[in-house]
Amino acid sequence: MGRLRLGVNIDHVATIRNARGGDHPDPVRAAEIVARVGGDGITAHLREDRRHIRDEDLRRIQEATDLPLNLEMAATEEMLAIALAHKPHAACIVPEKREERTTEGGLDAAGLHNQLAPICARLADAGIRVSLFIEASEKQLEAAMRLGAPVVEFHTGEYAHAWIDGDREKVARELKRVTDMAALAVKNGIEPHAGHGLTYENVQPIAAIPQIAELNIGHYLIGEAVFVGLENAVLRMRELMDAAR
Ligand SMILES: CC(=O)[C@@H](O)[C@H](O)COP(=O)(O)O
Ligand SMILES: NCC(=O)COP(=O)(O)O
């Protein structure tokens, strides 16, 4: 079992910054701290409404650290052009709705095949690793295979909600779904990642899934950072992930 990578999503540093419209706190400073404490990557979601990360943040993040950048993006021509201009290490295609508070579910890679195929192809041609943010289901995984995606990230939102609700049966069901699909992904040559809603409390069962190669964690870490500092929050998450393996 390889070392589980931790990608830190710094979107919500930008959310706090944007609350006052200025430059502080700067997500670039967060990226530098993540790099210093041994994080394995930076994840940033450039939403179409720019509610947190802004266009210029991408270049600044890339200039400030050597960590691989995982750019989360909607499947649109505008975002494709931005990805091609910045050439992040990876582009994770996510579903996006203006009115949602956060990414509510996985990408319908099966239903959107025709829209996604040219976007995936152009990203891949540019040397950008394509990742699809999908629900852990056979249907979506097969669709990811048909699209030739080398990576999928399983949306763990349902798992995280079940944990908050104290619904143990659902937690077990969701965990099994991710576990089974992670095994199936690897069997088919796809690298499985996971993320959304992960916390100190719920991370370990997901981190213990041997095939999962990377977790992307943001909102909870940035929230914790308010109390203990980003460095300590990332180190604690790393410790929990390592202990689970
Ligand atoms: C795709 C995903 O799960 C996260 O990147 C999340 O979307 C962060 O941004 P929001 O909190 O704005 O949804
Ligand atoms: N892709 C998931 C991600 O980047 C972070 O999600 P969250 O921890 O902010 O819910």
Q: Tens digits of per-residue pLDDT, 67-97?
A: 999 999 999 999 999 999 999 999 999 999 8
Please work out whether the CB of residue 194 comes within 6 Å of at least one atom of ligand 2. no
Q: Tens digits of per-residue pLDDT, 33-56?
A: 999 999 999 999 999 999 999 999
User: Which pLDDT does position 137 carry in this prediction?
Assistant: 98
**Residue 195: both structure tokens together:** 């993320």
State residue 90 phi and psi, 5-degree precision: -140, 150
pLDDT-derived band at 156 (thresholds 50, 70, 90) equals: very high
- Ligand 2 centroid to Cα of residue 207, in Å, is 15
User: Which pLDDT does position 190 carry in this prediction?
Assistant: 98
Entry pTM: 0.97
Cβ–Cβ under 8 Å, residues 66 and 47: no
Residue positions forming the annotated binding site: 9, 11-12, 20, 47, 52, 102, 197, 218-219
Q: Tens digits of per-residue pLDDT, 191-233?
A: 999 999 999 999 999 999 999 999 999 999 999 999 999 999 9
pLDDT at 100 over 90: no
pLDDT at 2 over 80: no
Please work out whether the CB of residue 153 comes within 6 Å of at least one atom of ligand 1. no
